[in-house]
Amino acid sequence: MNKKNTKTKELISEFRFFYFPDKPNALSLPCLQYGIDCGEGWFDLLYKLCKSIQVVLDKSPDFKKTFYVTRIKQKFGGLRFYTQGRHKEIDKLISEAEDQSFKTCERCGKKGKLRGGAWVFTLCDKCNKKRKQILP
Give the angle subtended at the CA of 40 by the CAs of 34 and 44, to the nearest 5°: 110
Amino acid at 98: E
Which DSSP letter does residue 100 get?
Answer: H
Cα 43 to Cα 60: distance, rounded to the nearest angstrom: 25
Cα 105 to Cα 120: distance, rounded to the nearest angstrom: 12
**pLDDT tens per residue across span 61-108:** 899 888 989 889 999 999 999 998 899 999 999 999 999 999 999 999
pLDDT value at residue 9: 79
Cα 5 to Cα 11: distance, rounded to the nearest angstrom: 10
Q: What are phi and psi of 55, to 5 degrees?
A: -60, -45
Domain boundaries, the chain: 6-102
pTM exceeds 0.95 for this model: no
